[in-house]
Structure 1
Amino acid sequence: MFPQCQLDHILKDDTFSGRLGTFFGTVWDLFMYMLGCSYVSAAGAILLLTIAIVFVPSMVSWKKRLLIGILHVSAHLAAALILMLLMELGVEICIRHKLLATSGYHTLYQWYQSVESEHFPDPTGLRERIEQWTFGLYPACIKYLMSGFDVPEVMAVTRSNICKNGIDSLSRGGAVIYYASVFLYFWVLSTPVVSLILGSYLYISINWLHIHFDEAFSSLRIANYKSFTRFHINTKGDLEVFTLAVDKVPKEWKLDPNWDGESKQPQEPSYLQKFPSKWRAKAPQQDPVNTVRIIDHFVIEQKE
């Protein structure tokens, strides 16, 4: 499926709308090819769809879960195909303008050799002696290290070789290097896009679908609106459940002098103390002791 070697139909279109239509038409063709011919990609898409469906809360009906999962996965797949095709177009344009794939994998090392004598003179011949002492490992290490840092050149040269001679002409090591270099740039491009898609999914879920409240709220990293649950068994043996909440959590705290001044019995639980915490809010109106409230209370009666 990738690399896409035939991109002339996109670049040769005269109008912007025509290029845009051809571009998305190519994305659709890639999507159909992925489902129909690429077994690994199709299996990955099915696995992603399964995870997306399971991720939807079980309170939603199966039909809605299936629909939400399909839409969610479709957004991710469309974004992935668009980014890959954009990256392919970028590499193709650079190759056509002689910015990449001009002289093989070691363009950076060749440039270094051309300026080495001018900027790094060696009047004593130390480099030649090091090359002899290391049996040629010294220049070879520099050569391949520079090739490793020149990822766009490696990607462009390998892509050109694949387009000319086919994917079968590439060795297993060359294929690993090529796909690793592509994955590196794809990771950088896809990270903000995936975050945007997932954030949009959570935004739509809590505002219109009324699901994923926990996931969306935790992603916002809001310190306020905290709640906790306490249980109490009354004299009748019934279980009382209290949910207490604080709307605003103080950001500044100070030591409570009353906590040090209160007499405490050994092993006395804190809830029996008048001042159970050694810390209090700097602003009294924000102290949780004064602002905490019960937002839910119900009783589970004991069964005989």
Structure 2
Amino acid sequence: MFPQCKLDHILQGDSFSGHLGSFFGTVWDNFVYVLEHSFVSLTGVVLLLIMAITFVPSKVSRKKRAIIGIIHVSAHLAAALILMLLMELGLETCIRHKLLATSGYHSLYQWYRSVESEHFPDPSGLRARMEQWTFGLYPACIKYLMSAFDVPEVMAVTRSNICKNGIQALSRGGAVIYYASIFLYFWVFSTPVVSLVFGSYLYICINWFHLHFDEAFSSLRIANYKSFTRFHINRDGDLEVFTLAVDKVPREWMLDPDWDMEQKQPQQLSHRRKYPSKWSAAAGQQDPVNTVRVVDHFVIRQNEKPDFVSSNGSVSR
């Protein structure tokens, strides 16, 4: 599917709408190619679809989960195809304007050698001796390091070779280098796009389907609206559950002087003290001790009373 060697119909349109129509037509053709001919891409799409469907909360019906998952995956797939085609168009434009793929894989090294010979002459032949002493490692290391950092040139030259001679003419190592280079740039471009797609998915699910509240709320990283649960077993053996919540969490804290002044008994538990915490909010109206409230309280009754064995061996309930 990639590289896309035939993009003339997109670049030679008469109007902006013509360019746009040709572009999205090519995106659709690539989507059909993924479904009909590709194996690796189709496997990835199927796995992503399974993950997207299972990610939808189970309280939703299976039909609705499947529809939401398909729409979610379709958005990701459309974004991926559009980004890949934009990268191909960018490379094609640079190649046509002779900004890339002008002198092979090592154009940056050749430029470096020309600048070096012009501004840093070597009348004593030190560079030649260094090359001889290092068995050719001195220029080779610089050459291939520059090639590794000149990723766009590697992408453009390899793409030109593939479009000219076919993918079969590319060695396994060359294919690995080419697709690794593509992946690096695609990762940079796709990260904000994927975040936008997933954020839009959470936004729509919260507002229209009332789903994924935990995932969306945690991603917002809001410090306020904290809650915790406490359990208490009363004398009857019933379990009382209290959920306590604080709407506003203080941003600034200070040492509580009352905690220092309070006399502490050895082995005394902190929750039995009058001032259990060493810290208090800098603003008294935001202190959680004053703002905490019980938002939920329920009791789980004991089903059966436990058996108690008395000292004389009799059993009582």
2:280 matches 1:255: no
Residue 224 of structure 1 deviates from its aligned partner by: 0.3
Residue 265 of structure 1 deviates from its aligned partner by: 2.3
Q: Matched residues in 2 for 1:12 and 1:60: separation?
A: 48
Q: Matched residues in 2 for 1:117 and 1:12: separation?
A: 42
Structure 1 stretches of at least 4 aligned residues deviating more than 6 Å after TM superposition: none
Residue 266 of structure 1 deviates from its aligned partner by: 2.5
Q: Matched residues in 1 for 2:224 and 2:201: separation?
A: 23
- Give the aligned partner of residue 34 of structure 1: 34
Deviations 1:191-239 (A, max 9, x none): 1101111111111111221111111111101100000011111222111
Deviations 1:88-137 (A, max 9, x none): 00000111111111111111111112111222222332111101111222
- Give the aligned partner of residue 314 of structure 2: none
What TM-score, normalized to structure 2? 0.94
| Largest Rg, 1 or 2 | 2
2:265 matches 1:265: yes
Deviations 1:22-80 (A, max 9, x none): 11111111011101110111011000011111111111111111111111111111000
More divergent stretch after superposition (257-266 vs 1-10): 257-266
Q: Matched residues in 2 for 1:299 and 1:119: separation?
A: 85
SS in 1 for 2:302: coil
Unaligned stretches of 5+ residues in structure 1: none
How many pairs were matched up? 304
Q: Matched residues in 2 for 1:119 and 1:213: separation?
A: 63
- Which amino acid in the other structure matches residue 188 of structure 1? V
Instruction: Give aligned-pair identity as a percent.
Output: 80
Deviations 1:235-287 (A, max 9, x none): 22111111100000000000011112222222222211111100000000000
- Give the aligned partner of residue 286 of structure 2: 286
Q: Matched residues in 2 for 1:277 and 1:123: separation?
A: 77
- Give the aligned partner of residue 315 of structure 2: none
SS in 2 for 1:230: strand
Q: Matched residues in 1 for 2:52 and 2:119: separation?
A: 56
- Give the aligned partner of residue 9 of structure 1: 9
- Give the aligned partner of residue 217 of structure 1: 217
- Give the aligned partner of residue 298 of structure 2: 298
Q: Matched residues in 1 for 2:31 and 2:131: separation?
A: 51
Q: Matched residues in 2 for 1:267 and 1:167: separation?
A: 76
- Give the aligned partner of residue 46 of structure 1: 46
- Which amino acid in the other structure matches residue 245 of structure 2? A
- Give matches, 1:155-174, under 5 Å: 155-174=155-174
- Which amino acid in the other structure matches residue 246 of structure 1? V
SS in 2 for 1:303: coil
2:203 matches 1:237: no
- Which amino acid in the other structure matches residue 261 of structure 1? M
- Give matches, 1:182-193, under 5 Å: 182-193=182-193
What TM-score, normalized to structure 1? 0.98
- Give the aligned partner of residue 69 of structure 2: 69
Q: Matched residues in 1 for 2:107 and 2:211: separation?
A: 53
- Give the aligned partner of residue 138 of structure 2: 138
SS in 1 for 2:240: strand
